[in-house]
Amino acid sequence: MASRSNRILVPEAREALNKFKLEAAQEVGTPLTNGYNGDLTSRQNGSVGGQMVKKIIQDYENNIK
């Protein structure tokens, strides 16, 4: 089985990724905060990740020529 890592490859991007995650959480109505979020359900966390992917794909589609 392949090893998985949530390590950020570009440490300078950490702040931008956190901002992006908080914006996505706000858009789907998930009460995400900086710090501990262990009280959120898997569904809530998944909706944030899904929104992030949706926005990345939308941005890519808007920028291809």
Residue 41: the pLDDT is 93
Could you say which residues of the chain have pLDDT below 50? none
Region of 2 (left: φ > 0; alpha: ψ -120 to 50; beta: rest) is beta
pLDDT value of residue 21:
93
Number of other CB atoms surrounding residue 60 within 10 Å: 9
- Cα separation, 22 vs 6, whole angstroms: 17
What's the confidence (pLDDT) of residue 31? 93
Q: Give the integer Cα–Cα distance in Å for 28 and 56.
A: 15
The predicted structure's pLDDT at residue 9: 84
